Amino acid sequence: MADTPEFLTGMRSGVVPALSAAPFGVLFGAVAVAQGQSIAEAALMSLTIFAGASQLVGVELFGQHVAAWIIVASILAVNFRHVLYSAAVTPILSRFSRAQRLASFFFLTDPQFAETLKREDAGTPVTFIWYIGMAICFYAIWNAMTLIGAALGGFIENPEALGLEVLLPIYFLNIVIGFRRRANYLPVVTASAIGSVLAFVTIGSPWHVSVGAFAGILLAAALPPQPAGKAEKP
């Protein structure tokens, strides 16, 4: 019972990110049904993969009947950022048991990554109870929204015409802005943005996601670290 407040704090941390991603969950469910999946198949995909952008790319490519290797490569390109996320949070999650780390990596989403780093930067220890509290909140809302979208998908002739996909870049932008107080924030974000745009124009989506990430990483590694207290002001 002593861990209950920590668990509830984690759940509260997940409410706003989960509600922000909720329309995207509805969009995925509707698009999945429009592409020929059943409600059960759409729900199972969200339950087991739990990666919104990859799920959407996957169902759209399934509907186009392209080669399996193209689907796998596209999903890897979109989800490659999670390799970087995992590397960044490993020192934090090393305090957990092996079973707890396995569960934590499954639930490692964009907002989970951002909130974990923010909590650690603030000097508040990241505990497994807090982490799993936030994860369960986000997971439950995401899957509920997938079900709603899948159930309503049959009544929507063209789900993509709703324009809900515009919420995803806005959502990611909010996460990026959340790190604005970190050292070298502006040059790293600028490098990532330029790299991503150039990759989108030259080699197309979804590879621009990984290229933009690499551009930012390379610049961050090349720049000298700023002394404590010298981080850029918001």
Q: Would 175 be classed as within a structural domain?
A: no
- In this structure, the answer to whether residues 232 and 149 fall within a common structural domain is no
- In this structure, the answer to whether residues 99 and 189 fall within a common structural domain is no
Specify the pLDDT at position 228: 45
Q: What letter does residue 192 receive in the DSSP assignment?
A: H
- In this structure, the answer to whether residues 95 and 154 fall within a common structural domain is yes
Residues 6+ apart with CB under 8 A from 13: 115, 119, 130, 133, 134, 137
Q: Would 81 be classed as within a structural domain?
A: yes
- In this structure, the answer to whether residues 144 and 192 fall within a common structural domain is no
Residues 73-97 pLDDT 10s:
878 877 877 888 888 899 999 999 9
- In this structure, the answer to whether residues 68 and 12 fall within a common structural domain is yes
Q: Taking the model in full, what pTM does it have?
A: 0.79
- In this structure, the answer to whether residues 157 and 184 fall within a common structural domain is no
- In this structure, the answer to whether residues 88 and 19 fall within a common structural domain is yes
- In this structure, the answer to whether residues 40 and 154 fall within a common structural domain is yes
Question: What is the percent of the chain where pLDDT is above 90?
Answer: 31
Q: Would 170 be classed as within a structural domain?
A: no
- In this structure, the answer to whether residues 110 and 219 fall within a common structural domain is no
Task: Identify which of 63-67, 169-173, 190-194 has the greatest average pLDDT.
Answer: 190-194
Q: Would 17 be classed as within a structural domain?
A: yes
Q: What letter does residue 23 receive in the DSSP assignment?
A: H
Residue 99 has pLDDT above 80, yes or no: yes
Q: Would 26 be classed as within a structural domain?
A: yes
Instruction: Examine the fold and report which residue of 131, 161, 191 is the final residue of a domain before the chain moves on.
Output: 161
- In this structure, the answer to whether residues 20 and 121 fall within a common structural domain is yes
E strands present in 4-149: none
Specify the pLDDT at position 225: 64
Of 78 and 13, the structure prediction assigns the larger pLDDT to 13
Residues 6+ apart with CB under 8 A from 60: 31, 35
Residues 18-55 pLDDT 10s:
988 888 898 889 888 888 889 999 999 999 999 888 88
User: Domain containing 205: what range?
Assistant: 180-234
Residue 230 has pLDDT above 60, yes or no: no
Question: What is the percent of the chain where pLDDT is above 70?
Answer: 88
**Three-class DSSP category at 181:** coil
Residue 136 has pLDDT above 80, yes or no: yes
Which phi and psi angles does 21 have, rounded to 5°?
-90, -10
Q: What does the alpha-carbon distance between residue 215 and residue 220 come to, in Å, rounded to a whole number?
A: 9
Instruction: Examine the fold and report which residue of 102, 129, 161 is the final residue of a domain before the chain moves on.
Output: 161
Domain count, the chain: 2
Specify the pLDDT at position 233: 47
Specify the pLDDT at position 194: 92
Of 217 and 103, the structure prediction assigns the larger pLDDT to 103
- In this structure, the answer to whether residues 203 and 115 fall within a common structural domain is no
- In this structure, the answer to whether residues 220 and 105 fall within a common structural domain is no
Total count of residues recorded for the chain: 234
